[in-house]
Amino acid sequence: MVVHPSIILESTEILQQLVASIRLIDEGNYTKKNVALNISSVGEHTRHIIESFQELNKGFELGEINYENRPRNSEIENNRLFAISCLESIIAELSKQNKCLKLASVQNGLLVLVDTNYERELMFTIDHCVHHQAIIKILLNSYGVNGISDNFGVAKSTLRHKEICAQ
């Protein structure tokens, strides 16, 4: 069974928002850290997002996901065009058949494997992405970047809540 189309659509929209936001800045703002706020660079947060999706894709093929094994590729965090290319590749690969997977994590010094599936992990990875996008938005705002979507870095549940409150 294919992953629910609404999950693919939401995933695509959120990742496209990230691409659009990265396109608004130059390499200097992509790699600059906000020392005053003690926040890592846009590039570092983007790398974390990309590598989480890459681990999900790798885990899909292997049947076991381990987000802790991210390679921490410095090219992603230092080269915004390369990061955009990685994000576009991830978007192109989102639609898959849902299947059972194992999630690996070290807990209390022991490797633990728990049951999961691609659809559930895609939802988690998108939520995790939005969290990092909220931090990226703080950085972009502190650099005076214009054109950032109001919805960038805001969870869909928060947007729905605001919509209900506005009625």
Rounded Cα gap, residues 61 and 140, in angstroms? 35
Two structure tokens written together for 16? 């496209």
Domain ranges of the chain: 5-166
**Angle, nearest 10°, between helix axes 42-62 and 5-23?**
150
Rounded distance between C-alpha atoms, residue 127 and residue 103, angstroms: 17
By the 8 A CB rule, do 46 and 83 touch?
yes
pLDDT band at 167 (very low <50, low <70, confident <90, very high): confident
Residues 40-90 pLDDT 10s: 999 999 999 999 999 999 999 999 999 999 999 999 999 999 999 999 999
Confidence (pLDDT) at 1: 80
Q: Which CATH superfamily is domain 5-166 in?
A: dinb family like domain (1.20.120.450)
Predicted structure pTM score: 0.93
Is 77:43 a contact under the CB 8 Å cutoff?
A: yes
Runs of H (alpha helix) within the chain: 5-23, 27-31, 42-62, 74-78, 80-92, 118-142, 156-166
Residue 157 is predicted with a pLDDT of 77
pLDDT in tens, 105-162: 999 999 999 999 999 999 999 999 999 999 999 999 999 999 999 999 998 878 777 7
Per-residue CA distances from 105 to 36, 47, 66, 68, 115 (Å): 33, 20, 6, 7, 12
| 52 vs 149: CA distance, rounded Å | 23
